[in-house]
Amino acid sequence: MTLEELKQIVNKSYGFDISQRKRTRPYCYARKVYCKIGRHMGFTLYAIGDSINISHATVLYHLKSFSCIEPSDLEIYEKIKELCYNPEEMKEFNDSLKNDNKLYEHKISKLMAEIHLLKTNISSKSPKQNKINYVLDVFNKWSEETLSEFIDTRLNIFDKMISVKVSPKEVNNVIGAKIEGRVSNPFLK
């Protein structure tokens, strides 16, 4: 079994991607489980770390602090450990993973068709609509994780900023003193 297969098993067991850069408890405990099983399988600290985008020192930390995980995480650890060493269960898991992938591919193709339909229904004559189509094309290239990060860190903040934006006051033409000729600076004398 490769680290990528192990990562898929852990991701499916927890319901999220453990390589995401999040520091919440569920993500940390899931990474601890992954690191422990990966080390039991004989992989190096560097290989384990590279597979989930963490350093080898962080992998070592997860291994040393494994005893602090919650009982539910320990159950997942035991199930995954049995799965890794039982070829029959591994085959069933791979089959279910393939079915899940087919389901997601179907959903993605359905969403892409809806996006295409929306693009064709809207008139592309307006400059605003052209910009919206451009943004949609850029968003389609991004992964779901990148898109979520953009929404959380950029879009929501920008939207709030626009909603509280105050329009500048209109300044009337102020007529001041008119200087005719050169004036000497008294400080330079």
Report CA 48 to chain centroid distance, whole Å: 20
Closest by CA to 120, choosing from 133, 105, 103, 102, is 133
Write out the two tokens for 186: 């008294």
pTM: 0.48
Q: Which residue has the tokens 């453990």?
A: 18
pLDDT at 60: 92
7 Cβ contact list (under 8 Å, min separation 6): 18, 19, 34, 51, 52
CA distance 25 to 151: 23
- Indicate the domain borders of the chain: 3-85, 122-158
CB 33 within 8 A of CB 76: yes
Write out the two tokens for 70: 């919650």
Domain with residues 3-85, CATH architecture? Orthogonal Bundle (1.10)
pLDDT at 90: 62
Amino acid residing at 54:
I
Residue ranges, the chain, pLDDT below 70: 85-95, 97, 120-125, 174, 177-179, 189
pLDDT at 20: 85
